[in-house]
Homo-oligomer: A and B are copies of this chain.
Amino acid sequence: MEKVKVGIVGGAGYTGAELLRLLVNHPGVKITMVTSETLSGKKLCEEYLNLKGKTELIFEPYEKEEVTKRCEFVFLAKPHPNSFKLVQELFGKVRIIDLSPDFRFSDGEEFKRLYQTPHLAPEFLKKSVYGLSEIFSQKIREANLVANPGCYPTGIILAVFPLVQAEIVTEEINVSSISGFSGAGRTPSPNNLAYFVVDNIRPYRIGNHPHGAEVEQILRRATGKGVKVNFVPQVAGFERGILNVIFLHLKTNVGEEELFSLYQKTYQNAPFLRVYCAGTFPEIKNVVMTNYCDLGFKRMNDRVLLIISSLDNLVKGAAGQAIQNLNIMVGFPEETGLV
């Protein structure tokens, strides 16, 4: 396997650390550059003990010439909203996988409404491909700019996409989601201070979390149908993992076997999508530290369909899916370097 040259811009955060954890063991990747302004000059293995013996790289300040010279692919892992300028500088010179929300929306106005920031690089919105590997793999293969999905939307969209597409369910999607505190990053906040999250379930940003709108937009893009997502995010006291409990309404009298077949068929080539038998359900424990998204479902009655999906927010919900997208872009088997 010939190695591709890969850089990470923003190696100091949760996502950067997770990319590094996975990429050092990826047989098709040579990490050629990791940037961080705050850690510049420090050895990676001094900051991340788990990299000891695996890389001698040193954090460097970002310089666009260096990035384009030394990398074929680059992961953008800086906090929102740093990717506007980076994409403007790097697009076309290296292939980009952006882990921020900056290029997930096709409309700059919607972005602005959701993130309370004007979009400063709207010319690239149409050029970006939404990196949900199981649904957009054909476009990802050719993309020069992949907008890696949000952690919650990954699990919600994968759960409902086949049903929306097949017009089996109404447009109303009610979702109660629990995330580990790593979803709140490392900058101190009520969603990652131990006082607030340990032994607690804490609802937050209900009604204005942008991931609800992300699900709506992507489902519309993928299926042509409109949906309305009522999204209830909550944070809990474990580090990793998301569980989405989704209530849908059936439009047609479709049985559980038929639903199972539909999932099987939709995801037959998706190595990281596991569909459970009707009536059995995923749990956080089964997916932590893996790139899997697990799905379980049950018809609660004639009308209400329950789906539960689960994934590791740092892996399938961020760094793992980014690497899955890299594999697709390069032409590696999708599972390369992932468990």
Please give the residue numbers on chain A whose beta carbons come within 8 Å of chain B beta carbons, in ascending order.
Answer: 25, 49-50, 52-53, 172, 174, 176, 178, 181-182, 186, 188, 192-203, 206-207, 228, 230, 232, 234, 236-241, 243, 245, 247, 271, 274, 279, 281-286, 288-290, 292, 294, 296, 298, 300-301, 303-304, 306, 308, 335, 339
Contacts and interface: CB of A to CB of B under 8 A. Distances in A.
Contacts of A245: 176, 203, 232, 234, 245
A207 B289 contact: no
Contacts of A271: 53
Contacts of A176: 176, 245, 247
A77 to B, nearest CB: 16
Contacts of A292: 49
A186 B198 CA distance: 13
A4 to B, nearest CB: 20
Contacts of A178: 178, 201
A194 B176 CA distance: 23
Give the oligomeric copy count.
4
A199 B197 contact: no
A18 to B, nearest CB: 12
Contacts of A52: 274
A281 B308 CA distance: 23
Contacts of A202: 283-285
A228 B53 CA distance: 35
19 contacts: A49-B294, A53-B271, A174-B304, A188-B193, A193-B194, A194-B194, A194-B198, A194-B239, A199-B238, A201-B236, A201-B283, A201-B284, A203-B296, A207-B298, A207-B300, A230-B300, A232-B306, A232-B308, A236-B236
Contacts of A304: 172, 174, 230
Nearest to A271: B53
Nearest to A27: B27
Nearest to A308: B203
Contact of A198 (B174, B181, B206): B181
A290 B25 CA distance: 13
Given A181-B198, A286-B49, A281 B203 contact: yes
Nearest to A14: B195
A241 B198 contact: no
Q: Which of A174, A194, A289, A290 has the most CB of B within 10 A?
A: A194
A203 B301 CA distance: 18
A182 to B, nearest CB: 7
A238 B200 contact: yes
Contacts of A239: 194-195, 198-199
A25 B290 CA distance: 13
